[in-house]
Amino acid sequence: MKKTLTFLILIAALIFTIILSLGLGAMRIPVKEVITILASKAGLLSNTAEDPLAAGVILMIRLPRVILGLMVGAALGTTGTAVQGIFRNPLAEPGLIGISAGASMMTVIIIALEGLFFIQISQSLGYSLLAIGAFFGSGLAALLVYTLSKTNGQPNMALMLLAGIAINALAGAFTGLVTYLSSEQQLRSITFWMLGSLGGATWGNVLCIAPFVILPIVILPTFSKGLNVFAIGESQAELIGLNTKSIKVWVVFLSTMAVGASVSVSGIIGFVGLLVPHTMRLIGGVNHKFVLPASALAGALVLTLADLISRTIVEPIELPIGVITALLGTPIFIYIMLRDKKKITNL
């Protein structure tokens, strides 16, 4: 009952946030006009004499941005839950196993080398080069972490965590080196990536990453049962007859796909993957059948809301969304850490 209510509230809040996000922004557009524009686009109204610029802002700038926020938020929420599930560690998130760091390192390298040999590739692929690079970088990092963590053909979770930390440090060092060598203009693009923003959303790149982001969001909840069994401990789960290796491989693979694609367009957005699953567990318990879809909805809600705040709070300047999510996320992170102090120190 409580779970159904949670879902209903989340869906209602999400719809409300979407409408608010489409209606608010640097350009003032009256509510009535927003509705007219959307209705006439959906074919519900015959073409009315609307402001073409307002229509352009809503359909070409705000709508892809809101959709990107929904996709990335849902992806971060779902993958965060799944990764916490396989690590059986409440403080895990996709970033921990090097996925985000790998993506950002590749992106930074591409930005810095753009003027050299990437310009050739860049011209034929357009702006999607960064997206492909980020995707490739996250995949490479995940593969490396996965290979390093294998013992007797089985990925070991403790090793994976350590390998993730090592890869994060390595990627951080490379990123720092490239930042040091890059020009002022490149530095600005790099900062943009490191702090995250949904401002780069266009129909082109949103549609480009949609399959890579949506597939994992849909598939990961089918692992709910397995992840629930996983919670009792990996060896115990195996004794019961669960194929733990297959679950680990799939969760890592799908998370890499979703997060790599997300990071490629929005940059690194911290804490959503960590904060959202926890809040959902506090509300509705630890059953993954609930936590996975609820985290998808809540992730979408939090990110869309954070984006709305980031672009309206100090108009016309846009705050990096990473700043907003981290400001919201850090206190919750510390709260969880203090609450689970005993459990963590006994690990």
Among 184, 342, 345, 346, interactor with other proteins by CB under 8 A: 184
- Choose between 6 and 202: whose C-beta lies nearer to other proteins: 202
Q: By CB under 8 A, which span of 50-58, 74-82, 322-330, 333-341 interacts with other proteins?
A: 50-58
- Token readout for 35 is 């509705």
Which segments of 114-156 does DSSP mark as H helices, in order? 119-125, 128-148
Question: From its phi and psi, is residue 2 left (phi > 0), alpha (psi between -120 and 50) or beta?
Answer: alpha
Least Å distance, CB 103 to other proteins, is 17
Least Å distance, CB 155 to other proteins, is 37
Residue 287, judged by CB atoms within 10 A of its CB (0-12, 13-18, 19+), counts as: middle
Question: Interface residues for other proteins in 126-165 (CB under 8 A)?
Answer: 126-127
- The answer to whether residue 108 forms part of the interface with other proteins (CB under 8 A) is no
- The answer to whether residue 25 forms part of the interface with other proteins (CB under 8 A) is yes
- Choose between 149 and 310: whose C-beta lies nearer to other proteins: 310
In the numeric block, the tokens 């994976």 are attached to: 160
Q: Can you state the angle between helices 157-181 and 99-113, rounded to 10 degrees? A: 20
- The answer to whether residue 316 forms part of the interface with other proteins (CB under 8 A) is yes
- Choose between 62 and 281: whose C-beta lies nearer to other proteins: 62
Least Å distance, CB 73 to other proteins, is 19
Per-position DSSP letters for 156-203, written without gaps between them: -HHHHHHHHHHHHHHHHHHHHHHHHHS-HHHHHHHHHHHH--STT--H
Give residues in contact with other proteins (CB under 8 A).
25-28, 52-53, 56-57, 60-62, 126-127, 180, 183-185, 188-189, 191-192, 197, 199-202, 204-205, 311, 315-318
